[in-house]
Amino acid sequence: MNLWRSLALGLALWQALLSPALAVPDRTVAIGNGVVLHFVEKGQGPTVVFVHGSLGDYTYWNDQRDAFAAAHYHVVAYSRRYNPPNTNPAVAGYSAVVDSDDLAALIKRLQLGKVYIVGHSYGALTGLFLAARHPELVRAAVLAEPPAMSLLLNLRPDRAAEGKRTFADVQQRMVGPMKAAFVRHDTDAGVGIFIDYVFGHPGTWAGMSAKDRSEAVRGAHEWEVMLPDGQLFPTIPAKSVRSIHAPILLMSGGKSYPFLALIDTALKDLLPDCHSIVFPDAGHQMWLQHPAEARAAAMDFFGTRYSTSKR
C-alpha cells in the first residue's frame, strides 16, 4: 500500500543520509553570526539551489545534482543550519524564516546572483519565505508541498471551514505534542508523534525497527533546536504570498497528506504567477518516487519558459 511504500522510501533516505560511506563535503561557507553551511556544487550554467526537507541533508539531492549538472546547470545543494554535517550553535527563534535568511546569505556570499530554487517539504517552505523576503535573489522556484500551515486559514470561502478544522487538528495532534516532547528533551517521542500523524496511523513509529527509529532520531537535531524556542510552522501572511512575483511551480503528490493538498489550494489562489503539476500515484516523496519525471518538469519550467537570455 502507498503508506508503506512512502515509509520505506523515507527510511531508505534516512539510512543513506547517515551512511558512513557518504563523504562530508569539503565546501563550506560562513554566512555570519558564527554560522557555517556545508554544500556541494557541480556543473556550469544557470544556478539551481536545492533545499532539502526535514530529517534530511544535502545528500537528498545527490542524483538530481548530477543530472542537472549534466544538463548544463550550475547546481548547489547545501544542508540547512542544523542538519548534517553542520555543527552550528543552537539559537532561540529558529524556523523556516531563519532558514530563508541563511539561504539568502549563502547566495550572496557565493556570489550566485539571481538563482532558481528547488525545494522539497520544509525546504520548499524555506524557498517560499526566500521568494517573499528576498525577491531580488529568485528567478523562479519549484516548490514541492511546502507546509505553510498558516495558509490553511486563508482558503476560499467554500473550503474555509475545512481549512480551520485542519489547522486546529495539526496544532492539537502534531505541533503541540511535538513541542511538549522536545521541551522535555524526548526526541524519540517527538519524532514518533510526527511520523504517526503524517502517516495517519497511530503505531507506525512503534512498528518501525529499532535501527530505523535510531537513524530517524539522529536526523532530528533541527527539531531539538526549533521546537523548544522556535516555530515549526511560522506564519507567512497571505499578503506576503501575494507579493511574490517570481514564477512558482507547485509540485504535488496525488496520494500525499491531505493537509498539504489544502495548502497547495491556498497557494494557487494567492501566488500571482503560479503553475502546478501533480504526480497522481506519488506521495509526499515525489522526487524519490518519480525522480526522472520530477526533474523533467523542473527543467521544462526553468528552461522552456525562461530563455537563456533571461538567465
Q: Which pLDDT tens digit goes with each residue over 30-55?
A: 999 999 999 999 999 999 999 999 99
* Whether the predicted pLDDT of 310 surpasses 80: no
Residue 108, φ and ψ in degrees, nearest 5: -70, -45
pLDDT of residue 23: 59
Q: What is the pLDDT of residues 126-177, one digit of tens each?
A: 999 999 999 999 999 999 999 999 999 999 999 999 999 999 999 999 999 9
In a domain, 78, yes or no: yes
Average pLDDT of 257-281? 97
Residue 296 sits in a domain whose CATH number is: 3.40.50.1820
pLDDT of residue 26: 77
Distance of alpha carbon 298 from alpha carbon 248, whole angstroms: 10
pLDDT of residue 304: 57
Contacts of residue 139, defined as CB under 8 A and 6 or more positions apart, other chains included, come to 46, 114, 115, 116, 246, 302, 306, 310, 311
Q: List residues bridging with 138 in a β-sheet.
A: 115
In a domain, 184, yes or no: no
Domain region containing 83: 2-160+231-310
In angstroms, how far is the first alpha carbon of the chain from the final one?
Answer: 42
In a domain, 172, yes or no: no
* Whether the predicted pLDDT of 191 surpasses 90: yes
What value, to the nearest 5°, has the Cα angle with vertex 60 and ends 133 and 242?
25
In a domain, 148, yes or no: yes
The conformation of residue 279, written as its DSSP 8-state character, comes to E
Burial (CB count within 10 angstroms: exposed 0-12, middle 13-18, buried 19+), residue 291: middle
In a domain, 59, yes or no: yes
pLDDT of residue 241: 98
In a domain, 225, yes or no: no
Average pLDDT over the chain, rounded to whole? 91
Tell me how many domains the chain contains: 1
pLDDT of residue 308: 41
Percent of the chain with pLDDT over 90: 84
In a domain, 165, yes or no: no
In a domain, 74, yes or no: yes
User: Using an 8 Å Cβ cutoff, are 143 and 124 in contact?
Assistant: yes
